[in-house]
Amino acid sequence: MRDEWDDRQHDAGPGRRRSQSTQFSKPVEQRRREVALGLGLVGVLGLAALGAVVTAGGESSSVATADAPDQALEDIDAAIDASEQAAAADDGLVEMVDVELAGLADPDPDVDGAPEEQERSDGGCTIGALSLRLGATGDGVTCLQDALADEGYFSGTSNGEFGQSTFDAVMAYQQAEDMFVDGVVGRETALGLAVWPDEESLVTRTPKPAPGATDLWGVELSPVGSAGDDAPPLPENSGSGYRVVYDRAGQRVWAVDENERIIRSWLVSGSTYANEIPGTHQVYSRSEMSTAWNGKAYLPNMIRWLKTERGAIGFHGIPTKVSTGEVYQTSDELGTRLSGGCQRQHNLDASFLWGFAPVGTTVVVT
C-alpha cells in the first residue's frame, strides 16, 4: 500500500498504470447506453443500500423556501431525477464527460481478490496528525521515532524533530515494506507502524433524521445528514462566506451560506491515501456522470475541486459497477475512508451539493 500516488502515473489509479487510449474498447454510443442501464439498476439495487430513492412520478424531495436560490433548488431536483430520466431514455442521453483517476481504491474482487483489511492502531501513542514530513516537530514525531526504533530503522534520539535521520529511517521502512517511498508518513505508513489514530474516534455521527426531515433549504436529508444547530460545529480555520467545507479527519462535509449558517452537513467516504490537499480550493468542473480511473465504475454528480497530474478529485455520489449496476458501498459505511481520492456521498447529499456548489464555489479542505 502507499501513502501518496506516484506523480509519474498520469493514467493510473493506486498501484496501477493504464493507457488512457485503451481504457475503453466499446463504441461511445454503446457505453452511453450502458450508463443509462447502470443508472436504472441503481434505482433498483441501491434501494436497500442507500435508503431514500425518488420513485418515478413521485413528489420532488426539495421544497422551495425563501432562503434557497430558485436555480439551486431546480438543479437539485434535476439531479435527483437524472437517474430516472437516464433509465427511461432509449437513446443514451447520458454522456461520459471525463475519466476520474481517484474514484476507486478497492480493486474489483473478481479480478484482484478482496482488498486486504487494514487494522487500526489500538492503544499507545499516535502521530496525532494526518501526515508528518521533514521539518515537523512535536509529540507525534517522537511517537514516530520510537516506532521506527522498535522496528530497527531508527537509531537516533527520539527528540520530536523530523530531521534527516528520521526522514532516512522512514524511507528505509517504506522501501522494506513495499510502500510508496517518499519519506512522508501518511495513513499507510502510520498504520504499518501502529501509530495511526483511531479513525472512528475522529468521526462525529449524528442521529438518523426522521423520515421527511429537511435541511435549511427544505431539501430532504440523507440518513447521515443534519442541518443548522443539529449539525456538528465547523472545524477551526475553515474559512468564511459561502463555501463547502471538507474535514478529512472527521470524514464530514458542511455546506455553509453567506450568513455562516450550516445549511446541511453529512458524512462522506474519502481517500485512503494522502492525496486530498488541505487548503482553499474552488469547484472548477462538473459532470452529471463520469467514470472511475479504471473504467469499472460510474460516478454520478461529479463536482471537481482538485486537479492533479493523475486526474481529478472531487465530490460525487455512491459509485456503481459498470458491469452490474451494484453499489460499491452502503450508507452505513459513510464516515470511513474507502476511495482512492474522491469523496463519496449518499446520493441525496450528492444531489444537494450539485445545486449548492456551481463552478467557482469555494471549497475549504481541513
pLDDT in the model for residue 106: 36
CB atoms within 10 A of CB 27: 9
The answer to whether 364 and 255 have CB atoms below 8 angstroms apart is no
pLDDT in the model for residue 58: 28
C-alpha–C-alpha distance, residues 304 and 271, integer Å: 14
Beta strand 243-247 with 362-365 is parallel
pLDDT, mean over the chain: 76
Local confidence band at 122 (pLDDT 50, 70, 90 cut-offs)? low
pLDDT tens digit sequence for 9-51 = 222 233 333 333 333 333 333 344 343 434 443 333 333 333 3
- Choose between 78 and 31: higher pLDDT: 78
C-alpha–C-alpha distance, residues 163 and 209, integer Å: 48
If you average pLDDT over each of 3-7, 42-46, 113-117, 230-234, which comes out highest? Answer: 230-234
pLDDT tens digit sequence for 336-361 = 999 989 999 999 999 999 999 999 99
3-state helix, strand, coil in the chain (%, to 5): 25, 20, 55
pLDDT in the model for residue 161: 97
The answer to whether 185 and 145 have CB atoms below 8 angstroms apart is no
C-alpha–C-alpha distance, residues 358 and 24, integer Å: 29
Q: Once rounded to an integer, what is the mean pLDDT over residues 87-101?
A: 39
pLDDT tens digit sequence for 298-326 = 999 999 999 987 789 999 999 999 999 99
Q: Once rounded to an integer, what is the mean pLDDT over residues 142-154?
A: 96
Q: Is the pLDDT of residue 96 over 70?
A: no
Residue ranges in the chain assigned as alpha helix (H): 28-50, 70-88, 109-112, 139-150, 164-176, 187-192, 347-356
Local confidence band at 60 (pLDDT 50, 70, 90 cut-offs)? very low
C-alpha–C-alpha distance, residues 21 and 150, integer Å: 47
pLDDT in the model for residue 215: 98
C-alpha–C-alpha distance, residues 46 and 323, integer Å: 15
Say what percent of the chain tops pLDDT 90.
Answer: 55
pLDDT in the model for residue 105: 39
Q: Is the pLDDT of residue 3 over 60?
A: no
Closest by alpha carbon to 277, among 186, 209, 355, 350? 186
Q: Is the pLDDT of residue 4 over 70?
A: no
Q: Once rounded to an integer, what is the mean pLDDT over residues 109-124?
A: 41
pLDDT tens digit sequence for 288-297 = 999 887 888 9
C-alpha–C-alpha distance, residues 270 and 199, integer Å: 12
List of residues 6+ apart from 8 with CB closer than 8 A? none
pLDDT in the model for residue 46: 37
CB atoms within 10 A of CB 33: 19
> Cell 481517500 sits at which residue?
271
CB atoms within 10 A of CB 359: 11
pLDDT tens digit sequence for 240-263 = 999 999 999 899 999 999 999 999
pTM of structure:
0.65
The answer to whether 306 and 280 have CB atoms below 8 angstroms apart is no
pLDDT in the model for residue 82: 67
pLDDT in the model for residue 124: 84
pLDDT in the model for residue 272: 85
Beta bridge partners of 190: none
C-alpha–C-alpha distance, residues 54 and 226, integer Å: 19
Closest by alpha carbon to 17, among 104, 108, 116, 101? 101
